[in-house]
Structure 1
Amino acid sequence: MPIVAQSSTETDWVSRFADDVIAESERRAPGKPVVVASGLSPSGPIHLGNLREVMTPHLVADEVRRRGYEVRHLISWDDYDRYRKVPAGVEGVDDSWAEHIGKPLTSVPAPAGSPHPNWAEHFKAAMVESLAALGVEYDPISQTRQYTTGAYREQILHAMRRRAQIDGILAQYRTKKAPAKKSQKPADEAELEAAEGSGAAGEDDGSGGSAGYFPYKPYCGQCEKDLTTVSSYNDDTTELTYVCTACGFGETVRLSEFNRGKLVWKVDWPMRWAYEGVIFEPSGVDHSSPGSSFVVGGQIVREVFDGVQPIGPMYAFVGISGMAKMSSSRGGVPTPADALKIMEAPLLRWLYARRKPNQSFKIAFDQEIQRLYDEWDKLEAKVAGGASQAGGSVLPADAAAHSRAVRTAAGELPKTPRPLPYRTLASVVDITAGHDEQTLRILSDLDPANPLTSLDEARPRLDCAENWITTQVSAEARTIVRTEPDAELLASLDDEARESLRLLLDGLDTHWSLDGLTTLVYGVPKVMAGLDPDAKPTPELKVAQRSFFALLYRLLVSRDTGPRLPTLLLAVGADRVRKLLAV
């Protein structure tokens, strides 16, 4: 029995869309499953920008499921799209793949060494695995299968009968241009986003042929490419004649029996809305400008296919710290699989859940990931502690985003049993180079009253931190602890500096924990200034502390900065610290 939809006045964007979707579904198709949809083209690596196409409807679908409704989240794999260009930076691919441009993605060979049968399956595989890790429940639909089995035959014949009407609708938009984009982002970044739409958004709409307009594009029977021109079509017999401009092959086929071609994108998309009864499907900004596929599709689905356009929020682009708008035709764009190597699934879900679809955001692969994890841990503590937690109660929208990050209607996502601070884990694995025994020793010393007994307690967060250190941090930025004391620097120290080092070494045994060492390293400059170790810092004291910290870094790692000193001292170990700092 469906649960009554909750009021959206004090909830998040997901709940508000869920309210609308439930109301629209009950108006259109009462008693039937609620249908939401996503579309992904496996034309190359499916990146973190594409993931928003899935996460937006997933979060809404999951909220609808939580309320007791049956939901179908369709993910349409656009694997029957044409192969447009050879993406840069893909291992096992060279310029010879250009000979396949124009073929369906499922007819293009997979990159060399791939275990998958074709290009589309190769790039789908990583995304399928990532969606499972993220807890995304969906019904996959292969467009290759749909078209080549004749599932859309009646819709194709209908579109061909109504081609003049479709041409008239498209003609209303062909000369319209999108208005200039308003953006608060730096101009260069905004221009990059505006200049490059997704592949489907820029596809041919079927116009331009001397024999008239045809919304259907055959793939050539000889070279398999879609570089074909329809020269005639008979509505009564469904005979279609085409010629291939790539190889010169031509033939006449019966469209009532022919399954080797597809509707052009601006007709294909609205046809699917009507065919599947889609209630909710978002689209990127490149699909939403005047004349683009979502806008034109609304008129085509209504006037040609007697359907209804889905509720379709526009979603903004997703960026990476220091990287312009992502495109799967460029090399080196991070994918969900890349993100899941350095961050836990709930954190990645949270990034998509906490921002409205029309708000752009960035995913951190640089040092910012440490601050992001600090923010996440603070939210987790607030949610766990409720109103009594230091920092106040959690705002309803923040609590909702957290709930959507850590669980779905099917249950909780896997989590780290002992979620130690990410920056601490990163510092430790940086210093130990991932040596398990050393890592366990250090992590156990963080809280001697409740020591870690196994590294499994800190996983998968520990593995994520290690992957981040080894794949995202440059060799120059890695921490290398000295093996021998810096005799020259030690000999040059004045009496005050020597005394500060002696105070530190004398306090190691009684302060050997993360909290204890924090107190110690901040306290030494206070004692040197004649203050109590618990004294509040003054501007002068802060200068003295920074000077002391810089000295410790130079003596331990030959740099002026490094990991947090308490963590660094724990990682180096008391005996080695004494060896390197002895005066």
Structure 2
Amino acid sequence: MSETRDAALSSKAWPFEEARRVLKRYAKKPPEKGYVLFETGYGPSGLPHIGTFGEVLRTTMIKRAFEEISDIPTKLVCFSDDLDGMRKVPGNVPQQDMLKEHMHKPLTVVPDPFGTHESFGHHNNAMLRRFLDTFGFEYEFYSAREFYRSGQFDEVLLRACEKYDEIMAVMLKSLREERRQTYSIFLPIHPETGRVLYVPMKEVNAKDGTITFDDEDGTEMTLPVTGGNVKLQWKPDFGARWAALDVDFEMYGKEHATNTAIYDRICEILGG
């Protein structure tokens, strides 16, 4: 063992302490996927800021610390939640009135108010990547829109259909009574209006992989959960993403601390 590795294994600096926690899981054998996956999340509902930079920086510090104490390959993924509906218009962008006309549509459908990219989501994703590239971060960029539409999440979405009641039971415990009445882990994307709908499910058909619901006008609709027709609510999405990608480490703020058990349990239910 080199002196550098020996020092890293005994270092009390927090990146090394976190790295050792990750390594401890693979004391007997490396992960089946062949590498340890570090992930950061980005919500492109607004422009990237110093907090976004800080999350990627701190995760990179832990990833680098891990590389000092282990020979297991690593990967850093920056995952953009760009299929989220736009629920608020940021105050620091132009064309406010235009953006208000596209409320609740996925960020990668909302027109770019700067006029430089395919959508507002694409614009903000590009800003983040330019931001990270400028500082030489080594990462892979993943888009929720691409993952949902391309079928890379299909397996976990179909499993969510099969385990719908079990996941709902986990979620309902964390919600207020009034929210429980209308909550569903699935958010259908209306095929005509393009809006992300927050509506209760009338039926979840695990055999066919479909959901049935009434849209905002009361029209009954049935959609497949695959193919980008549906996205998951943010808490189930966290757990589903961990399961689908086999994430080993993700840093998050204290606002997520109370939800960690929920993410872990949903990940476990979905086979993670």
TM-score (normalizing by structure 2): 0.87
Instruction: Give the equivalent residue in structure 1 for 2:106.
Output: 104
Which runs of structure 2 are paired with 1:457-468 in the superposition (5 Å)? none
Q: 1:261 to 1:83 in 2, by over 3 A?
A: same
> Distance between the aligned counterparts of 1:142 and 1:259, measured in 2?
12
Report Cα offsets for 1:89-115 as digits up to 9, x if no partner: 21x221231121111110000014x31
Compared with structure 1, are the counterparts of its residues 254 and 261 closer, same or farther at alpha carbon in structure 2 (3 Å cutoff)?
A: closer
What whole-Å deviation, never above 9, does each CA across 1:383-438 have from its counterpart, x for those lacking one?
xxxxxxxxxxxxxxxxxxxxxxxxxxxxxxxxxxxxxxxxxxxxxxxxxxxxxxxx
C-alpha separation in 2, matches of 1:278 and 1:6: 27
**CA-CA distance at 1:249 after TM superposition:** 5.2
Q: Percent identity?
A: 25
Confirm or deny that 1:301 pairs with 2:267.
Answer: yes
Give the structure with the larger strand fraction. 2
Aligned to 1:320: none
SS of the counterpart of 1:306? Answer: coil
Provide the residue aligned with 1:240 in structure 2: 211
* Equivalence for 2:232: 263
Moved more, 232-241 or 115-124: 232-241
2:203–2:211: 8 Å Cα contact kept in structure 1?
yes
Separation in 1, partners of 2:159, 2:52: 31
Question: How many residues are paired up?
Answer: 267
Alignment CA distance shift 1:142-1:27 (3 Å): farther
SS of equivalent residue, structure 1 residue 217: strand
Unaligned runs of 5+ in 2: none
Shift of residue 15, structure 1, vs aligned partner: 1.7
CA contact (8 A) 1:160 1:216 kept: no
1:174-573 correspondence runs (5 A): 174=175, 207-209=180-182, 214-229=184-199, 230-245=201-216, 250-255=220-225, 258-289=227-258, 292=259, 294-302=260-268, 304-307=269-272
Q: What's the RMSD between the two structures over aligned residues?
A: 2.6
Query: CA distance change for structure 1 residues 89 and 259 in 2, over 3 Å: closer, same or farther?
Result: closer
Distance 1:110 1:136 in 2: 26
- The 8 Å contact of residues 110 and 117 in structure 1, kept in 2 or not, is answered as yes
Equivalent residue letter for 1:218: P
**Residue aligning to 1:87:** 90
* Cα deviations by residue, 1:469-489 (Å, 9 ceiling, x for unpaired): xxxxxxxxxxxxxxxxxxxxx
Secondary structure (helix, strand or coil) at the match of 2:196 reads coil
Contact 2:148–2:227 (CA under 8 A) maintained in structure 1: no
CA gap 1:224/1:5 in 2 versus in 1, 3 angstroms: farther
For the pair shown, which has the larger CA radius of gyration, 1 or 2? Answer: 1
Distance (Å, rounded) in 1 between the aligned partners of 2:184 and 2:161: 7
Q: Secondary structure at the match of 1:151?
A: coil
State TM-score, norm by structure 1.
0.43
Larger RCO of the pair (alpha carbons < 8 Å, separation 6+): 2
Task: List per-residue Cα deviations over 1:327-379 (Å, max 9, x = no partner).
Answer: xxxxxxxxxxxxxxxxxxxxxxxxxxxxxxxxxxxxxxxxxxxxxxxxxxxxx
User: CA contact under 8 A between 2:53 and 2:132: conserved in structure 1?
Assistant: no
1:497 aligns to what?
none
CA contact (8 A) 1:8 1:15 kept: yes
Deviation at 1:158, TM superposition (A): 1.2
Q: Aligned partners of 1:237, 1:130: CA distance in 2, in Å? A: 43
User: Is 1:20 equivalent to 2:21 in the alignment?
Assistant: yes
Q: Secondary structure at the match of 2:75?
A: strand
Alpha-carbon separation, structure 1, partners of 2:54 and 2:220 = 41
Structure 1 unmatched runs, 5+: 177-204, 308-583
Partners of 1:96 and 1:27 in 2: how far apart?
56
CA distance in 2, matches of 1:237, 1:296: 27
Tell me, in whole angstroms, the C-alpha distance in 1 between the residues paired with 2:74 and 2:195. 37
> Does the CA contact (< 8 Å) of 1:74 and 1:140 recur in 2?
yes
Give me the whole-angstrom Cα distance separating, in 1, the residues matched to 2:112 and 2:181.
33
Q: CA separation in 2, counterparts of 1:253 and 1:173?
A: 27
